[in-house]
Amino acid sequence: MALVSDGAFIADEWRRLADEESLPGSGKVIVSLGRLPAAREDARLTALGVYVANTTDPKALAPYFARLALIDIAFPAFTDGRGFSLARLLRREGFVGELRASGRLTPDQYLHAVGGGFDTIEIPDELAAHHGEANWAKARQARSLSYQRGVAGGASILERRRKGVA
């Protein structure tokens, strides 16, 4: 797996745990939604993350926010845009940790992901070989303007017009 952050491939400090693996004594661990209640009580973990389906109810996750440092939303297909809405709703519910999109996303969707509030994107190695780091770096800068807030360069075009700044 390759991890994209700010247009670069970075090392992943997190370990994704399959349901049959037991909780390790320490470290940063991503568990499934089903294991979240138990994992939350495990004080040995340095940091806790959860991976969820894009159909997850954001309100169901909210009670865990205080203990959660990462939420990883699965993209079952790169054309399935539910994850973009879920990300936005999680931010609205008050989640401030790392939001990660995982699946076969392409660099061409980078700004969509950023606009939804994602910090990182996790893609399979073979896809990372196909769309290299340079593609992601370029895609991060593809547009400097957006009609929506938070997508490219922060302020929306409407807000820029209002302020009269370029």
What would the x/- binding string for other proteins be over residues 104 to 133, using CB under 8 A?
--x-xx-xxxxxx-------------xx--
Of 68, 86, 101, 128, the one binding other proteins by CB under 8 A = 86
For residue 34, which phi and psi values (nearest 5 degrees)?
Answer: -65, -30
Are 113 and 121 a contacting pair, CB within 8 Å?
A: yes
DSSP conformation letters of 4-69: EETTEEE----EEPPTTSPPPSSSEEEEEGGGHHHHHH-TT-SEEEEEE-TT--HHHHGGGTTTEE
Is 15 near other proteins (CB under 8 A)?
no
Which segment (24-32, 41-49, 64-72, 155-163) binds other proteins by CB under 8 A? 155-163
Out of 28, 35, 40, 88, point to the residue binding other proteins (CB under 8 A).
88
Q: Which helix (H) or strand (E) holds 3?
A: strand 2-5
Q: Shortest gap between Cβ of 121 and other proteins (angstroms)? A: 14
- Residues in touch with other proteins (CB under 8 A): 55, 78-82, 84-86, 88-89, 92, 106, 108-109, 111-116, 130-131, 135, 138, 142-151, 156-162, 166
